[in-house]
C-alpha cells in the first residue's frame, strides 16, 4: 500500500533535504578531485622519479584501503593530531582525496597512450615543450581519459552515500534516520535508491553529451 | 662557388647504450639540392636525419643553418631552428585530433604567431598544392596513407622551410600509394626545394638526387653523383646494394 501522507509529509522533504547536502558534497568533490587527479596523473606520468614514486605510493594507499576506513581516519583519528573536521568537511576531504587517486590513474593512462610520434612532430615544427603539452598532448589525452573519468564521477555519486558514517546528514543519512524512526525500511531505501539512480542517470547523460561534443574520428569507437 | 650551403652538418656522433649508432657523419646541402641517403636498414639513416634537428640529440657534432651555428643548449634557438627545418616522418605523425587543415595551420598560429584566418588561408593553399584541397576538413583517421603523407608535406611546406628532411616518406605506404607521394616530392625538387631524403626508392634517387650518400653501420661510406656511384662497372658498395634491391624486386 502506498502511504501518500507519509511519502509527501515525511519522506520526500527529508530526502530532498538530504539530496541538497549530497549535491553540495558531490559537485565540489568531483571538480576538485578531478583537478587533483589531473595534477597527480601528470606528476605520475611525467614527473621526476621521486615525485612519481610518491604519487604511486599515495595512489596505492588510497586504492588499497576502503573509503569507509579513510572517512573514519579523517573524522576520528585526525583530531588526535589536532586536526578537526566537521562531518561535512571530513566527508568532502576524504572524497576529494579518494577520487583524485582514482582519476589520476585514468589521466596517467591517457597521457601514456599519446604516441611518441605526435610529440616528435610537434617538436619538429618548432613547438616548445609547453606548447606541445597545451596544444597536442592535453587535447588528445582529455579525449582518451573522458570515459574513465566520467565513470569515476558515477562511482563518486554512489560512494558519497558513505558520508552518513561520520554523521553527515546527506541523502543516505536522512533515509537512515527516517527508516529507523518508522521501520519502513523498504519504502525508504527504495526511494533513496531511486534518488541515486536519477542522479547517476543525469550525470551519465551529461557525460555522454560531453563525449559526443568532443568526439573526433579515430578516438573511440563511435 | 656562388652556391650557398643551406645546411651544413659536421661530425655528428651518437651512442646508445655504449653502441655507436652514428660515427662522424657530415653533410652539406646547397640551395636547391636533393641529397639522398641510402643504405640497409639499421644503418643509421633515420637517426642521422632526426639528429640533424635534434629530435635525437647528437652526442657530438655541429649543425649550421645558412652558416649560422646552432646552439643546442638554447631551447628558444632550437625551436626557431626546427621551425625552419621541415621534417617528414615515415609514419606521417599527423596530429590525430586535428583536421588536415588544422594540422597545417596549427604551427603557423602557435609557432609563427599568424592569426587564425590567415593561417587557414595558407593551409588551404598548401593543401591545394599537394592536391588535397577537398580533404581539408577530414581527420587523419579518415585519410589514406598517401593522403596523410601529403598533408604532412603540406604542413612542413607551410612553415616556409629552408630545408626539408624526409625520413623514408614512402616506406609505410601501400605500393599503389607510393606514386602520389613521390610525385609531390618530385614537384618540390623541380621547384628548387632543398631536401635531404632517406629512401629505398632507387629509381627516384637515380633520377633526382644531386648526390647519393651511402650509409652503413652508422657511417657514410660512399658519396657522389648517382651517375658516378651507379655507373656500370663502378664497383661501389652503392651499386652492389642497388643491384641486390633490384634482385629482390624492390
> What does the pLDDT look like over B55-71, one tens digit per residue?
999 999 999 999 999 99
All cell numbers assigned to B195: 631536401
Contacts of A132 in chain B (CB under 8 A): none
Establish how many alpha carbons lie within 13 A of residue B244's alpha carbon, considering only the half-sphere containing its beta carbon: 8
Selected for mutation to probe chain B from A125, A133, A215 (highest B CB count within 10 Å) is A125
CA distances from A66 to A63, A71, A73 (A): 8, 9, 11
Helix (H, G, I), strand (E, B) or coil at B215: strand
> What are the pLDDT digits (tens) for B90-135?
999 999 999 999 999 999 999 999 999 999 999 999 999 999 999 9
- Closest partner CB to B96 (pick from A126, A135, A140): A140
Measured distance CA(A200)–CA(A111) in Å, rounded: 27
The pLDDT, as a whole number, for residue B127 is 96
The pLDDT, as a whole number, for residue B245 is 79
The pLDDT, as a whole number, for residue B3 is 62
Quote the minimal CA–CA distance from A208 to chain B in Å: 19
Quote the minimal CA–CA distance from A214 to chain B in Å: 10
Quote the minimal CA–CA distance from A162 to chain B in Å: 39
Collect contacts of B74-78 with beta carbons under 8 A, ≥24 apart. B75/A128, B75/A129, B76/A128, B78/B54
Helices A12-46 and A185-213, packing angle to 10 deg:
40
| pTM confidence score | 0.83
CA distances from B72 to B59, B62, B65, B77, B144 (A): 11, 9, 12, 8, 36
Residue of B nearest to A114 (CA): B96
Quote the minimal CA–CA distance from A141 to chain B in Å: 10
The pLDDT, as a whole number, for residue B249 is 62
Q: Is the pLDDT of residue B159 over 80?
A: yes
Q: Is A214 on the interface with B (CB under 8 A)?
A: no
Q: Is A216 on the interface with B (CB under 8 A)?
A: yes
Q: In what order do the strands lie in the sheet with B195-198?
A: B85-88, B163-167, B195-198, B34-38, B211-216, B219-224
- When the pLDDT of each residue in chain A is averaged and rounded to a whole number, the result is 92
Residue of B nearest to A216 (CA): B97
> What are the pLDDT digits (tens) for A106-151?
999 999 989 899 999 999 999 999 899 989 998 999 899 999 999 9
Check B97 against A217: CB less than 8 A apart.
no
Residue of B nearest to A142 (CA): B97
- Closest partner CB to B55 (pick from A123, A217, A218): A123
> What are the pLDDT digits (tens) for B72-96?
999 999 999 999 999 999 999 999 9
Beta-bridged to residue B38, according to DSSP, are: B214
Q: Is A125 on the interface with B (CB under 8 A)?
A: yes
Check B106 against A135: CB less than 8 A apart.
yes
Contacts of A217 in chain B (CB under 8 A): 139, 141-142
Task: Please report the number of interchain residue pairs, chain A to chain B, with beta-carbon separation below 8 angstroms.
Answer: 76
Check B79 against A217: CB less than 8 A apart.
no
Confidence of residue B239 (pLDDT cuts 50, 70, 90): confident
Check B96 against A127: CB less than 8 A apart.
no
For chain A, which residues score pLDDT lower than 70? 1, 220-222
Residue of B nearest to A139 (CA): B97
DSSP symbol at B6:
E
Q: Is the pLDDT of residue B2 over 60?
A: no
Confidence of residue B237 (pLDDT cuts 50, 70, 90): confident
Measured distance CA(A49)–CA(A68) in Å, rounded: 31
- Closest partner CB to A217 (pick from B95, B107, B139): B139
- When the pLDDT of each residue in chain B is averaged and rounded to a whole number, the result is 91
- Closest partner CB to B97 (pick from A117, A125, A139): A139
Can you tell me the ipTM of this complex?
0.90
**Higher local confidence (pLDDT), A219 or B162:** B162
- Closest partner CB to B110 (pick from A115, A135, A139): A135
Measured distance CA(B192)–CA(B171) in Å, rounded: 24
Strand-strand pairing, B68-69 and B60-65: antiparallel
Contacts of B65 in chain A (CB under 8 A): none
Alpha helix (H) residue ranges in B111-201: 116-129, 145-158, 175-190
The pLDDT, as a whole number, for residue A23 is 95
Q: Is A113 on the interface with B (CB under 8 A)?
A: no
Collect contacts of B105-111 with beta carbons under 8 A, ≥24 apart. B105/B158, B106/A135, B107/A125, B107/A126, B107/A127, B107/B83, B107/B155, B107/B158, B107/B159, B108/B158, B108/B159, B110/A127, B110/A131, B110/A135, B111/A125, B111/A126, B111/A127, B111/A131, B111/B79, B111/B83, B111/B159
> Cell 635525437 identifies what position?
B56
Amino acid at each position: 500500500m502506498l502511504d501518500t501522507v507519509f511519502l509527501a509529509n515525511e519522506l520526500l522533504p527529508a530526502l530532498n533535504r538530504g539530496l541538497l547536502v549530497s549535491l553540495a558534497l558531490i559537485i565540489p568533490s568531483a571538480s576538485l578531485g578531478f583537478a587533483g587527479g589531473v595534477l597527480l596523473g601528470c606528476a605520475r606520468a611525467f614527473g621526476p622519479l621521486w615525485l612519481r614514486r610518491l604519487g604511486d605510493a599515495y595512489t596505492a594507499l588510497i586504492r588499497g584501503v576502503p573509503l569507509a576506513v579513510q572517512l573514519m581516519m579523517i573524522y576520528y583519528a585526525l583530531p588526535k593530531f589536532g586536526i578537526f573536521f566537521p562531518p561535512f568537511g571530513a566527508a568532502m576531504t576524504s572524497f576529494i582525496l579518494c577520487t583524485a587517486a582514482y582519476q589520476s590513474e585514468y589521466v596517467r593512462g591517457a597521457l601514456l597512450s599519446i604516441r611518441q610520434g605526435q610529440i616528435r612532430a610537434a617538436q619538429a615544427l618548432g613547438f616548445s615543450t609547453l606548447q606541445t603539452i597545451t596544444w597536442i598532448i592535453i587535447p588528445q589525452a582529455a579525449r582518451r581519459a573522458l570515459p574513465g573519468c566520467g565513470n569515476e564521477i558515477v562511482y563518486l555519486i554512489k560512494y558519497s552515500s558513505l558520508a552518513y558514517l561520520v554523521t553527515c546528514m546527506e541523502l543516505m543519512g536522512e533515509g537512515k534516520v527516517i527508516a529507523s524512526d518508522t521501520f519502513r525500511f523498504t519504502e525508504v531505501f527504495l526511494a533513496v535508491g531511486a534518488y541515486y539512480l536519477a542522479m547517476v542517470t543525469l550525470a551519465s547523460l551529461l557525460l555522454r553529451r560531453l563525449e559526443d561534443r568532443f568526439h573526433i574520428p579515430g578516438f573511440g569507437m563511435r | 662557388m656562388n652556391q650557398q650551403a643551406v645546411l651544413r652538418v659536421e661530425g655528428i656522433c651518437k651512442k646508445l647504450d655504449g653502441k655507436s649508432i652514428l660515427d662522424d657523419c657530415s653533410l652539406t646541402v646547397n640551395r636547391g639540392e636533393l641529397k639522398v641517403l641510402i643504405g640497409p636498414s639499421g644503418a643509421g639513416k633515420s637517426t642521422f636525419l632526426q639528429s640533424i634537428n635534434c629530435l635525437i640529440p647528437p652526442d657530438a657534432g655541429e649543425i649550421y643553418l645558412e652558416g649560422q651555428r646552432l646552439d643546442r643548449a638554447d631551447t628558444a634557438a632550437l625551436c626557431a631552428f626546427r621551425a625552419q627545418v621541415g621534417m617528414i616522418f615515415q609514419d606521417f605523425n599527423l596530429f590525430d585530433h586535428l583536421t588536415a587543415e588544422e594540422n597545417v595551420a596549427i604551427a603557423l598560429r602557435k609557432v609563427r604567431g599568424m592569426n587564425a584566418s590567415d593561417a587557414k588561408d595558407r593551409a588551404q593553399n598548401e593543401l591545394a598544392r599537394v592536391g588535397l584541397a577537398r580533404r581539408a576538413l577530414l581527420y587523419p583517421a579518415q585519410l589514406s596513407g598517401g593522403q596523410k603523407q601529403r598533408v604532412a608535406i603540406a604542413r612542413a611546406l607551410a612553415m616556409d622551410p629552408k630545408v626539408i628532411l624526409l625520413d623514408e616518406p614512402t616506406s609505410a605506404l601501400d605500393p599503389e600509394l607510393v606514386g602520389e607521394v613521390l610525385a609531390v616530392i618530385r614537384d618540390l625538387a623541380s621547384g628548387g626545394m632543398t631536401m635531404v631524403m632517406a629512401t629505398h626508392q632507387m629509381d627516384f634517387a637515380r633520377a633526382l638526387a644531386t648526390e647519393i650518400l651511402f650509409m652503413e653501420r652508422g657511417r657514410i661510406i660512399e658519396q657522389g653523383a648517382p651517375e658516378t656511384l651507379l655507373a656500370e662497372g663502378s664497383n661501389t658498395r652503392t651499386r652492389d646494394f642497388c643491384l641486390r634491391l633490384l634482385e629482390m624486386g624492390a
